[in-house]
């Protein structure tokens, strides 16, 4: 198993643990450190995230296209980990989804290259999670990123297409990504995103958010509960076989 495969395995294990279920307003305010450094007109706030292991990780979703096709600082955040949008309030461009997902990373005890990162995207529009896409958001084959430091101001970074920046010179990486940029559904559904940081193969921090487009907001059974049901079902099967023996 290669390095990336091991990170995927570690991330999969992390999803089954309470640690990886970290979801709350990052920094207690929803504001990331030092600010939103990508693009123009993007305000700070409404980020789900956590700080651990010397790194602040955050996620949020926003309405990318309003009824006039323009971006808005509309997050419709429940204050914990879920963002909800209606396609009737949006006229997206061709091959684009109504929302963007945004991922800020800020290392507080070293440069960005002191850790490695993994972003997993649920590509199943149903309530079931199917993390069909996983990639390093600061890697060579990513959707690009903006790099900065603790001194970077709002919108104060330039876009990097990936692989040309020296991560050792920066402590902040961010980007705003539309589902149309990647192999992911564009329409209605419920989608889960997880951003994780690793020191080697050891998970040091992780955060998760859910995005709902049009669909109601069912409460899926936690992964641990699913495992428990599976285990109980297996025990029931064993008991039935034992009685019939």
pLDDT per residue as tens digits for the range 70-110: 999 999 999 999 999 999 999 999 999 999 999 999 999 89
Summarize pLDDT for 102-127 with one digit per residue, the tens.
Answer: 999 999 989 999 999 999 999 988 88
The band of 55, judged by pLDDT with boundaries at 50, 70 and 90, is: very high
> Whole-angstrom Cα distance, residue 85 to residue 69?
15
The structural domain count of the chain equals 1
The band of 36, judged by pLDDT with boundaries at 50, 70 and 90, is: very high
The band of 65, judged by pLDDT with boundaries at 50, 70 and 90, is: very high
Q: Which range, 112-121, 163-172, 230-239, has the best average confidence (pLDDT)?
A: 112-121
Q: What's the pLDDT at 6?
A: 47
Choice between 152 and 16, residue whose per-residue pLDDT is larger: 152
**Residue 129 domain boundaries:** 3-244
Q: Which residue in 43, 40, 41, 38 sits closest to 158, CA to CA?
A: 38
Model confidence, pTM: 0.81
Q: What is the DSSP letter of 190?
A: E
Tell me the three-class secondary structure of 36-101, residue by residue. CCCCCCCCCCCCEEEEECCEEEEEEEEECCCCCCCCCCCCCECCCCEEEECHHHCCCCCCCCCEEE
Q: What's the pLDDT at 46?
A: 97
Q: What's the pLDDT at 242?
A: 37
């Amino acid at each position: 198993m290669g390095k990336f495969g091991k990170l995927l395995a570690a991330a999969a294990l992390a999803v089954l643990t309470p640690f990886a279920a970290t979801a709350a307003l990052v920094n207690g305010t929803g504001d990331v450190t030092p600010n939103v450094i990508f693009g123009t007109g993007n305000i700070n706030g409404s980020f789900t995230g956590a700080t651990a292991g010397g790194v602040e990780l955050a996620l949020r979703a926003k309405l990318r296209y309003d009824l006039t096709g323009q971006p808005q600082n509309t997050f419709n955040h429940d204050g914990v980990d879920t963002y909800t949008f209606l396609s009737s309030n949006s006229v997206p461009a061709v091959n684009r989804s109504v929302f963007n997902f945004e991922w800020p990373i800020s290392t507080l005890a070293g440069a960005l290259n002191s850790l490695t990162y993994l972003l997993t995207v649920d590509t199943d529009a149903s309530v079931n999670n199917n993390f069909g896409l996983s990639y390093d958001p600061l890697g060579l084959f990513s959707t690009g990123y903006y790099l900065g430091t603790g001194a970077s101001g709002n919108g104060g970074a330039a876009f990097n297409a990936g692989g040309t920046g020296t991560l050792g010179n920066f402590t902040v990486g961010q980007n705003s990504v539309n589902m149309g940029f990647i192999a992911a559904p564009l329409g209605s559904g419920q989608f889960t995103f997880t951003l994780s940081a690793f020191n080697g193969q050891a998970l040091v921090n992780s955060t998760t958010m859910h995005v709902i487009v049009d669909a109601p907001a069912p409460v899926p059974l936690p992964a641990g509960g699913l495992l428990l049901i599976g285990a109980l079902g297996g025990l029931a099967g064993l008991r039935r076989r034992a009685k019939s023996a």
